[in-house]
Amino acid sequence: MFTRPTPHALHALALATLLVAPGCTAGDEDERARGLPAGPDDDALGGAGAGSTGLDSPGQGADDDFTPLLTPQCPMGSAVATRIKPEIVIVVDGSISMTDFGFRDDDRSRWDVLKSALVDGSSGVVKRFEDRARFGVRVFQSAAESGGLNARSCPYPDGSVVDPLPSNADVIAQTLDNNRPDMPVGTTPTARGLREAYDGFDRDALDRELGRQVVVLTTDGEPNDCVGDFDVVASFLEDCPQPEQIRSCTAGGTCVCFVPSFDDTVQAVEYGQGLGVDTYVLSLAEAGGPFAEHLQALANVGVGMARDGGQAAPLYVPNDPEQLAQQLSELISLNVSCEVTLNGTVDEQRAMEGMVALNGELLDYGDADGWTLVDERTIRAEGVACERFKTESTAYLEASFPCEVFTVD
């Protein structure tokens, strides 16, 4: 629960800044949020020292009347508090149908609606959450050259991959602009695209400052492959030569028939789960029949559930651009962490002697809406406090412990 502290002049820091002021430590404001030169680690909020609050004097980004709630009590020492951030890679279907067809009843293409929800202005989900997660993007597609399918650039042509890094929204927006599907882009190599996305994560880099690794698959059509047996048919009305084939057509009426690689794609998501990477599925097409069943199987396997089990994992099928933006925000928020890691250790038997405040409001230790000590180096906001910490762009935490309770590395 929240407890209103004695009134102080509190400063709502931008970009979910984390402050730590344990008894022998002091936290600093996020340099990037203030526009100051970044330190050795952009994501770390460096300690000041010698009893400082870690906030610069007025005129360097803090309000003139700012007074931190939890001030240091020890004469020396420094520490760093760092939000634990997930790596989230958006795997985007780059087949021609993404620009050749509209999104539901919207006049814009599926590609343009998705790009807007991801990176447009300050409302795009990547821009809104880039202080709380590290985003990357991968646009999978196979381009046609001289009437054939170019397997050399499949599933990711040059310039179509952005690795997950801090403050990536502008780079992702430019990459989506540069890889907007236009003819002669052809196939939908979903299985290969997913496998390469999973292998693109650096599993050895996981540490206390890097949270979960996640893939968000956004697609609008049945999966096939970079190269394969595609039968070209003259029109929407012409039957496919083989009964197990499905027809895929452009808006102009150019159609091919192929056998969808459903099993290969499910196996690819199972491979990702085996590496510890969760996968969420967002459909940009009206899914029915075997394709809808396939997407649900991907959603199930993506979060560790049985492929055809009795329970169904969330499958995101938005009805309009507003719901698309909302669902993207929900699944990103689902993976944002409420934990911060410290470069020191807390005596777990005396953790309740510490004080933690969210936006200047003291949280109760062990309360369902307060804070807990996950381990000797990790603090977690719970319940309502967690939701606020994940979703409010100005949310910040302060922590203070008696000197004998906290030991700086």
What are the domain boundaries of the chain?
A: 2-83+338-408, 85-335
Is-contact 338 306, C-beta < 8 A? no
Euclidean distance between CA atoms 356 and 240, whole angstroms: 65
Is-contact 396 14, C-beta < 8 A? no
pLDDT at 33 (0 to 100): 27
Query: Could you write out the three-class secondary structure of 33-58?
Result: HHCCCCCCCCCCECCCCCCCCCCCCC
Euclidean distance between CA atoms 215 and 138, whole angstroms: 10
Euclidean distance between CA atoms 402 and 76, whole angstroms: 13
Tell me the angle at which helices 289-302 and 262-274 cross, rounded to the nearest 10 degrees.
Answer: 10
pLDDT at 248 (0 to 100): 75
pLDDT at 31 (0 to 100): 30
Mean pLDDT of the chain: 76
pLDDT at 45 (0 to 100): 30
pLDDT at 95 (0 to 100): 87
DSSP 3-state of 321: helix
pLDDT at 131 (0 to 100): 87
Beta strands, E only, 61-208: 81-83, 85-93, 134-140, 142-145, 148-149, 161-165, 185-187
pLDDT at 249 (0 to 100): 72
What pTM value is reported for the model?
Answer: 0.78
In words, the CATH class of domain 85-335 is alpha beta
DSSP 3-state of 332: helix
Half-sphere exposure of 115 (CA within 13 A, CB side): 22
Spans of the chain below 50 pLDDT: 1-67, 75-79, 146-147, 208
Looking at the chain, the number of H-run helices and the number of E-run strands are 10, 21
Share in percent of the chain as helix, strand, coil (round to 5): 25, 25, 50
Neighbours of 378 (CB within 10 A): 16
Structure tokens that stand for 91 in this block:
């795997």
* Residues forming beta bridges with residue 345, ordered by sequence position: 407
Is-contact 379 356, C-beta < 8 A? yes
pLDDT at 314 (0 to 100): 93
Beta strands, E only, 51-124: 81-83, 85-93
